[in-house]
Amino acid sequence: MASNPFDNTVLRFDDGFERLDRRVFRVEAGVMTFALLAMSLTTFLKIIYEAVVADRNFVDLFLLRWLHGTATPPSDALLAQVKGVYSPAIVGFVIVFVGIAAARTIARQLASKRSEDPSAPPPPWRLADLGLGLAIAAGFVLLGRMVVTVPSAMMCAAMYVIALALFAHRAHRHGDLTPFLATWLVLSVPVGVLISRIPTQYAWVNDLSKMLIMYVGFLGASMASRERKHIVLNFGRRLWPSAAKRYVEAFSLFVWLLFDVLLLVLAAHLMQLQIEAGSTLSILPVAEYNIVLPVVISFAIMSVRVGADLVRVLSGAETAPPAPDPDAVASDAGADTGEVAA
């Protein structure tokens, strides 16, 4: 890959490094997607767990504040009425409403796929829609029961298997099932070790989010370096003569490479100190250096990518005809190079 910052283009090359970098990019995208999904699902499970086991959940507190106020404690009779009648009725209504709305959305999507006219009216209500909505609502209730009774490690393992099956189906439709299975068979080892160390309840979710947000942020920055979607200063660039533009770009890449290497060394040193200390996260029994590990990985990948760009620019490879990149991230037409995308 090479870049021309003067006309905001990213050129691709059909060589060995580009093919390898394309695979690394896809692994980064998969890991970042998994991290976002894991954070969302575990936070959702934690919210359900805390709402179910709490002595007074957020619905109880809202109703007590509305019916009684906060000046004095509520009476036992009012508390029993809120917890035994009002709150279950409101929660049940919301669950059924969400289930029916989800069923109706599914019916409309299926009808739109079967119809060739995008302006066709939505399909009429059917008894099957109501039945599907009630089934979805029953599934929500069952999920709440399972979150409380089933150990969190087993819930996470089940959701991981379901997510892998869904993404494997998508990869199969796109003809990428073999590399998908090869990648996630390897990545399932650390994921399995992590799931096996999860405590019984959901107090560990915050520790997991601290670790995964680092993968999302820094792998996203690494992916942006491949697409050249980073902060670029255009001031003075167009004033250079054509003969000097290559060397200006090479100097820019060299400074960027020094920055990446410096941060890589600092992150690696910090990780070494954490490994020697043997410290772990506060609740999740995972070594603390796992928070710094994605920083090391990301800046190592960025250093290689920027170094390859620097070699190509100095050798004049940026004048080669570009090859299409199937993994390029779509961006808005005419976006400025000064836009911060990561």
pLDDT digits (tens, 9 = 90+) for 76-89: 888 888 888 888 89
Spatial distance between the Cα atoms of 36 and 19, rounded to a whole number of angstroms: 26
304-342 pLDDT, tens digit per residue, is: 998 988 888 888 765 444 444 554 444 444 444 343 333
pLDDT at position 231: 58
CA separation, residue 337 to residues 148, 208, 241 (Å): 50, 35, 20
φ/ψ bin of 264: left (φ > 0), alpha (ψ from -120 to 50), beta (otherwise): alpha
Strand partners, 3: 10
**CB-based contact 198:153 (threshold 8 Å):** yes
Spatial distance between the Cα atoms of 152 and 38, rounded to a whole number of angstroms: 13
Give the predicted TM-score (pTM) of the model. 0.71
82: tokens are: 């809120």
213-262 pLDDT, tens digit per residue, is: 999 999 988 988 887 766 555 555 566 676 777 777 888 888 889 999 99
250-280 pLDDT, tens digit per residue, is: 888 888 899 999 999 999 999 999 999 988 8
Which has the minimum average pLDDT: 7-11, 54-58, 210-214, 259-263?
7-11
Map out the domains of the chain as residue ranges.
2-151+200-319, 153-199
